[in-house]
Chain A
């Protein structure tokens, strides 16, 4: 990997497209992963629906609709992007595909990016469809600060993808990925405002939870919908997301395993 940020050239785009296309075909042939990625983010939010009725959402300017939508998008980051991508990175490494790709013209960054393209694309499409669907069906109305939605999705997708590469570095097999992905899953569901808004927590705990990897994305997304995020809060959340992405990319560059352990 070169020391500088790679510039995107036509040849690089061609390579990313070729790799992404192959990876999409592989994703489509793995039924378990397809089901988890497509169905879980749509079904899981309904399991939290009863709990939402107990909460005083109105005080935070939230409705059941926006909370469900946020949950669905958060689950999409976790299942469609993070979990399926850990699976893809580990499977390709164990099949020696990553090693083989490194003998060719692709840079390390291109290999990781190209492999991530289908999962990230599905996560993005899913989030946009959910937004449109909820606006139409759940009477959530249009987002009040729509300019925050795309940065929110970018933050969520990039953090999930970068952490997937990092998680893959400490995962020995596709089977053990079911365990190594749990910490981020649990922490994010409980603390990042995916299953319930962080605002219902005690202030001090909420302040810590704001720093979790997916918290900024969820916060920006919900803020985009309610319009209740101040400029300062927007900036803090964006900066937190950027720091997580930079830390994860830095760690991946140093720690990523390209070959199975001997």
Chain B
């Protein structure tokens, strides 16, 4: 940690974006990202993640509100911001007929203080592909090329729009490790993702976007706090939900009974689980498919989507 610990390198205030047809993709969102932090914008497809990131990258002018990146307006003060940021778009942006090396050389020529191209290609594991044309790369390799070029200028702020979409499990882990290394070196990272485990495992703080608004934000722990935990199991033949002790006494706040399968939601997971297991022990019942899990981001995410639907 350094003296810039509390410096906000990205500040977004009441930001909105409206497309030509009148569609309001971003509807007044506010958040900030501190130096050296990994911040994730999480949401389903169409939630407004890319629309928001493009405003931060300075590719479009907001319909309302304010964006500041490193203290500057990223659209109107492009020249001041761009040398200090790295961007990975959601898709493509490289001529299909150029080779990996030619693409990297071109991008290096357009980047002040660029690192050697071979170094960043090595970093993302593309060194051996340097003579391959972009059109012959797999989807995952293209994502890694994009990441390599975003890193060419040693950016202070890195925007990653769905950096691991299309990557296999190993590629995804490699990318996560790389992003963590960058944070350790002081880089501020803003990423979008629809993978919950990516946001949960990588982000210091996150915001869940839903229909252009921030539905929840904070650290992963803060966002999941207050969300119910889950317990599910299958009752054997001859046993019914009513055979269990009264659910309210177990701390259960909601339940579902689907054939033999029982799903419980509780804010006191330990109490509920203990009571159910003691009951099973006492009655000599085997609970098949027993699954007990604490509140996760997934829980929060699905909960938010449902709440919004009910509200609408």
Contacts and interface: CB of A to CB of B under 8 A. Distances in A.
Interface of A: 2, 11, 14-15, 17-19, 21-22, 25-26, 29-30, 91-92, 95-97, 99-107, 262
Interface string B87-101: 101011111111000
Contacts of A262: 19
A21 B103 CA distance: 11
B102 A100 contact: no
Contacts of B59: 99, 102-103
B312 interface: no
Contacts of B153: 105
Q: Give the residue among A17, A22, A96, A103 with the most B Cβ atoms within 10 A.
A: A103
B94 A100 contact: yes
Interface stretch (B64-72, B109-117, B226-234): B109-117
A100 B92 contact: yes
Contact of B95 (A18, A22, A102): A22
A18 B105 contact: yes
Contacts of B96: 95
Nearest to B74: A103
Q: Which 5 A-B pairs have the closest CB atoms?
A: A18-B109, A100-B93, A103-B87, A22-B106, A96-B93
27 contacts: A14-B110, A15-B110, A18-B106, A18-B109, A22-B98, A22-B106, A25-B97, A25-B102, A26-B95, A29-B97, A91-B95, A95-B92, A95-B93, A95-B96, A96-B89, A96-B93, A97-B94, A97-B95, A100-B89, A101-B110, A102-B59, A103-B93, A104-B82, A104-B110, A104-B111, A106-B110, A107-B78
B89 A99 contact: yes
B3 interface: no
Contacts of B92: 95-96, 100
A95 to B, nearest CB: 6
Chain B interface bracket (under 10, 10 to 19, 20 to 34, 35 or more): 20 to 34
B83 interface: yes
B1 interface: no
A108 to B, nearest CB: 9
A22 B105 CA distance: 9
Given A14-B109, A14-B110, A100-B92, 14 more contacts: A2-B79, A11-B112, A18-B107, A19-B110, A25-B97, A26-B97, A26-B98, A29-B97, A97-B95, A101-B93, A103-B58, A103-B93, A104-B87, A104-B110
B106 A103 contact: no
A107 B79 contact: yes
Contacts of B57: 103
B202 interface: no
Interface of B: 19, 57-59, 78-79, 82-83, 87, 89, 91-98, 102-103, 105-112, 153
Given A104-B82, A105-B112, A99 B93 contact: yes
A77 B99 CA distance: 30
A29 B98 CA distance: 9
Contact of B109 (A17, A30, A100): A17
- Among B57, B58, B109, B112, chain A packs the most CB atoms within 10 A around the CB of B109
A18 B89 contact: no
Nearest to A18: B109
Contacts of A102: 59
B111 A96 contact: no
Given A99-B89, A103-B87, A107-B78, A21 B95 contact: no
A107 B92 CA distance: 20
A74 B106 CA distance: 32
Contact of A95 (B94, B105, B109, B111): B94
A15 to B, nearest CB: 5
A18 to B, nearest CB: 2
Given A25-B102, A104-B82, A107-B78, A92 B95 contact: yes
Contact of B102 (A17, A22, A91, A103): A22
Contacts of A14: 109-110
A22 B133 CA distance: 13
B270 to A, nearest CB: 49
A100 B149 CA distance: 11
Given A100-B89, A102-B59, A107-B79, A19 B109 contact: yes
Contacts of A30: 97
A21 B89 contact: no
Contacts of B105: 18, 21-22
A31 to B, nearest CB: 11
A262 B82 CA distance: 26
B110 A21 contact: no
Contacts of A11: 112
B17 to A, nearest CB: 13
In the complex, which of the residues A19, A21, A22, A102 has the most CB atoms of chain B within 10 Å of its own CB atom?
A22
Contacts of B82: 103-105
The residue among B58, B93, B108, B111 with the most chain A CB atoms within 10 A of its own CB is B93
Contacts of B109: 14-15, 17-19, 21
